[in-house]
Amino acid sequence: MAWCFTHSESVISLYIANISENHTPLKMPVLFLVLYQLQQEAPRPKRIICPREVENRPKYYGREFHGIISREQADELLGGVEGAYILRESQRQPGCYTLALRFGNQTLNYRLFHDGKHFVGEKRFESIHDLVTDGLITLYIETKAAEYISKMTTNPIYEHIGYATLLREKVSRKLSKSKNEPRKTNVTHEEHTAVDKISSLVRRAALTHNDNHFNYEKTHNFKVHTFRGPHWCEYCANFMWGLIAQGVRCSDCGLNVHKQCSKHVPNDCQPDLKRIKKVYCCDLTTLVKAHNTQRPMVVDICIREIEARGLKSEGLYRVSGFTEHIEDVKMAFDRDGEKADISANVYPDINIITGALKLYFRDLPIPVITYDTYSKFIDAAKISNADERLEAVHEVLMLLPPAHYETLRYLMIHLKKVTMNEKDNFMNAENLGIVFGPTLMRPPEDSTLTTLHDMRYQKLIVQILIENEDVLF
């Protein structure tokens, strides 16, 4: 059936009726074009020029500025013309400026600001003309399609042919449990089938056929974005209206959605490696999902190297390597990823590798022991009864994000091996707790006093985790 878009409001009414009656939503072209058509129909801005030179006119305003006039005078100057606008200085508050805009058979007045760009709300514009154009589009669409917009997320395309469904058909199964794998993480191992066709709406780094994918939950990292040319929301499939800041884009995976739709998008971000610029200083969950690994590659590669040639090294993790060489290792991982060469041929001093591993943990934007769980761990450490303290630590461990839990588990297994070589390296669980306490956990507030006060508890938590690794994980 061919649809006619001459009367946009009729199409909107038909769509709303469809949803209200629990019918299948209208076909894709209708979804795509309803709001786009309304943007095309929106009133165009008409600048009303002041016929005289206005003294003390701000240099960033043009001849649409009419000086100090009243609301009534502004209304008269606009002449009832839809889309007409002027700028005026407030009579009651000299030095304050107002945009008077004609829309919907009435004059609307907005307090106008300038900080290098013009704005009346969140959006910033290079020119008054662009500000008014965007405002008229928004007013027109939100007036004509208010009910339609409120129902956009009722039956989103995302759930049917969107990101997760379109890119892969998931067959979940639990990771087989072995002594080398986590016992309590809710990590799933997935098999994926190739997708024959991917809509141009949903641009993703598609997972290849039979890729292994560790399904850690990750929220999208949405940021306001200005799209060049027409764009449609990848959640509800509707047009993203306006001139600038029409929606938000996930900086990790590239998902483009309306700001209001972003609140409904599931926590299923699959970061695109092309968007991940660094290994160090990158969010832990983002990194493991981007590289499709169970733990950060830095942790696996460094620990493998340390266990191969450094477990008996005196003062392991306590003795520092040369800072310059540690920075070289960091740059190697940032540049080459899993291909970084940290072998003994390149870095014979094992303390450089331990230093690089500790630096990775310190550089995490969210520590391995997250800010959300920090105070709970500190409270657990303060419990005097050993059994109750151990139980409290276990309960807080379960609150860690899966990727953080798995990374901590793997590190504690490694540090337990370090303590088993205490006769050679002189590093017991308490010594390692002193080293790794402030490395793995930091207070949410940047307070030197809090950090100093909590150091003994940080040390104790890591010591407990090492000594009871086989029980806690």
> Which residues lie across from 369 on neighbouring strands?
441
Contacts by 379-388, CB closer than 8 A, 24 or more apart: 380/461, 381/457, 381/458, 381/460, 381/461, 381/464, 382/457
- Report yes or no on 34 lying in a domain: no
Do 110 and 232 share a structural domain?
no
Do 444 and 355 share a structural domain?
yes
Among 93, 124, 148, identify where a domain stops. Answer: 148
Report the number of distinct structural domains present in the chain. Answer: 3
For residue 470, which phi and psi values (nearest 5 degrees)?
Answer: -70, -20
First-residue to last-residue Cα distance in the chain: 60
- Report yes or no on 29 lying in a domain: no
Percent of the chain exceeding pLDDT 70 equals 81
Do 306 and 382 share a structural domain?
yes
Q: Which of 155-159, 199-203, 213-217, 249-253 has the highest mean pLDDT?
A: 249-253
User: What mean pLDDT comes out for the span 427-441?
Assistant: 97
**Model confidence at 44: pLDDT above 90:** yes
**Model confidence at 451: pLDDT above 90:** no
Neighbours of 431 (CB within 10 A): 20
Task: Tell me which residue range forms the domain holding 114.
Answer: 46-148
User: What mean pLDDT comes out for the span 227-246?
Assistant: 90
Do 320 and 431 share a structural domain?
yes
For residue 276, which phi and psi values (nearest 5 degrees)?
Answer: -95, 105
Do 128 and 261 share a structural domain?
no
CATH number where 221 lies = 3.30.60.20
Of 155, 189, 338, the residue nearest 261 (C-alpha)? 155
Backbone dihedral region for residue 275 (phi beyond 0: left; psi -120 to 50: alpha; all else: beta): alpha
- Report yes or no on 200 lying in a domain: no
- Contacts for 21 with CB less than 8 Å, ≥ 6 apart: none
Do 329 and 229 share a structural domain?
no
Question: In angstroms, what CA-CA distances link 234 with 32, 141, 211?
Answer: 11, 19, 24
**Model confidence at 195: pLDDT above 50:** no
Do 411 and 323 share a structural domain?
yes
Distance CA 295, CA 271 (A): 15
**Model confidence at 405: pLDDT above 70:** yes
**Secondary structure (3-state) at 153:** coil
Among 96, 122, 148, identify where a domain stops. Answer: 148
- Report yes or no on 369 lying in a domain: yes
pLDDT grade for 159, boundaries at 50, 70 and 90? low
Give the up-direction half-sphere exposure of residue 231: CA atoms within 13 A in the CB hemisphere: 23
Do 388 and 451 share a structural domain?
yes
At 23 the pLDDT is: 41
Mean pLDDT of the chain: 84
- Report yes or no on 300 lying in a domain: yes
- Report yes or no on 169 lying in a domain: no
Tell me which of 236 and 405 has the higher pLDDT.
405
Distance CA 300, CA 286 (A): 16
Question: In angstroms, what CA-CA distances link 194 with 45, 198, 208, 289, 351?
Answer: 49, 10, 6, 19, 44
- Report yes or no on 117 lying in a domain: yes
User: What mean pLDDT comes out for the span 359-385?
Assistant: 97
Of 107, 113, 143, the residue nearest 128 (C-alpha)? 113
For 335-352, how does the pLDDT look when each residue is reduced to its tens digit (9 = 90+)? 999 999 999 999 999 999
Question: In angstroms, what CA-CA distances link 56 with 89, 95, 105, 303?
Answer: 10, 10, 31, 69
**Model confidence at 196: pLDDT above 80:** no
Tell me which of 55 and 140 has the higher pLDDT.
140
Among 148, 170, 192, identify where a domain stops. Answer: 148
**Model confidence at 173: pLDDT above 50:** no
Do 326 and 257 share a structural domain?
no
CATH number where 134 lies = 3.30.505.10
- Report yes or no on 24 lying in a domain: no
Do 257 and 381 share a structural domain?
no
User: What mean pLDDT comes out for the span 244-249?
Assistant: 93
CATH number where 461 lies = 1.10.555.10
Whole-structure pTM value? 0.67
User: What mean pLDDT comes out for the span 268-283?
Assistant: 89
User: What mean pLDDT comes out for the span 395-413?
Assistant: 97
**Model confidence at 26: pLDDT above 80:** no
Do 452 and 324 share a structural domain?
yes
Identify the DSSP state of 450: H
Do 301 and 264 share a structural domain?
no
Neighbours of 339 (CB within 10 A): 10
